[in-house]
């Protein structure tokens, strides 16, 4: 469904752009038809091709009539998909945060308030830098103590 919606939005935007471009070109051509004829020549003879002017008017009107709604509908579909995508991303991020929080609390309870970056990274399957950032944030919120062992590994100690 998402692929079909993306294709529909893309095609509508392209179609609308093409039609409005054709309309703009027809209006420009009509303007150029009148621009090149000096005003004194109108009195002597009629140099305007009225059939071409009528065709350009019809082309311009049809381009606007069908192009703008196509552009609007395609843009509306694209914006709707983008909003839905953002909502889904936010929901996934929220779910991930809840999962990490529950894993963090479980590990704290199992280890009597002591947790390491490596242990949390292994349990949560996060990269070490992301696990360290998460634990640093939690340590700030709960006023945890830090201990560094001889190897340079940091362990966080939370009071239960």
Residues 6 or more apart in contact with residue 153 via CB below 8 angstroms: 116, 117, 118
> How many domains does one find in the chain?
2
Query: What does the pLDDT read at residue 155?
Result: 85
Instruction: Return d(Cα 20, Cα 66) in angstroms, integer.
Output: 8
Query: Residue 148 pairs with which residues in a beta bridge?
Result: 154
Query: Mean per-residue pLDDT for 97-116?
Result: 88
Query: Domain span at residue 65?
Result: 1-93
Q: Is residue 106 part of a domain?
A: no
| pLDDT for residue 143 is more than 90 | no
| 44 lies in the same domain as 80 | yes
Of 20-34, 40-54, 76-90, which one has max mean pLDDT? 76-90
- Residue 159 DSSP label: -
Average pLDDT over residues 75-90: 94
Q: Give the model's confidence band at 12: pLDDT under 50 very low, under 70 low, under 90 confident, else very high.
A: very high
pLDDT score, position 24: 92
Is the per-residue pLDDT at 46 higher than 80?
no
Q: Looking at the predicted structure, is the pLDDT value of residue 40 above 80?
A: no
8 and 77 housed in the same domain = yes
Which of 37, 60, 93 is at the close of a domain?
93
């Amino acid at each position: 469904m998402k692929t079909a919606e993306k294709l529909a939005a893309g095609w509508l935007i392209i179609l609308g752009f093409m039609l409005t471009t054709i309309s703009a070109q027809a209006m420009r051509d009509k303007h150029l038809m009148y621009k090149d004829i000096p005003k004194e020549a109108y009195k002597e003879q009629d140099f305007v091709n009225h059939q071409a002017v009528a065709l350009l008017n019809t082309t311009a009107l049809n381009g606007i009539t069908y192009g703008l709604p196509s552009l609007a509908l395609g843009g509306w579909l694209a914006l709707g998909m983008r909003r839905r995508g953002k909502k889904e991303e936010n929901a996934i991020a929220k779910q991930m945060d809840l999962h990490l929080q529950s894993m963090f609390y479980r590990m704290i309870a199992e280890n009597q308030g002591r947790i390491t970056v490596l242990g949390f990274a292994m349990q949560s399957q996060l990269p070490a830098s992301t696990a360290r950032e998460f634990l640093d944030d939690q340590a700030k919120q709960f006023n945890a103590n830090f201990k560094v062992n001889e190897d340079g590994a940091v362990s966080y100690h939370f009071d239960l």
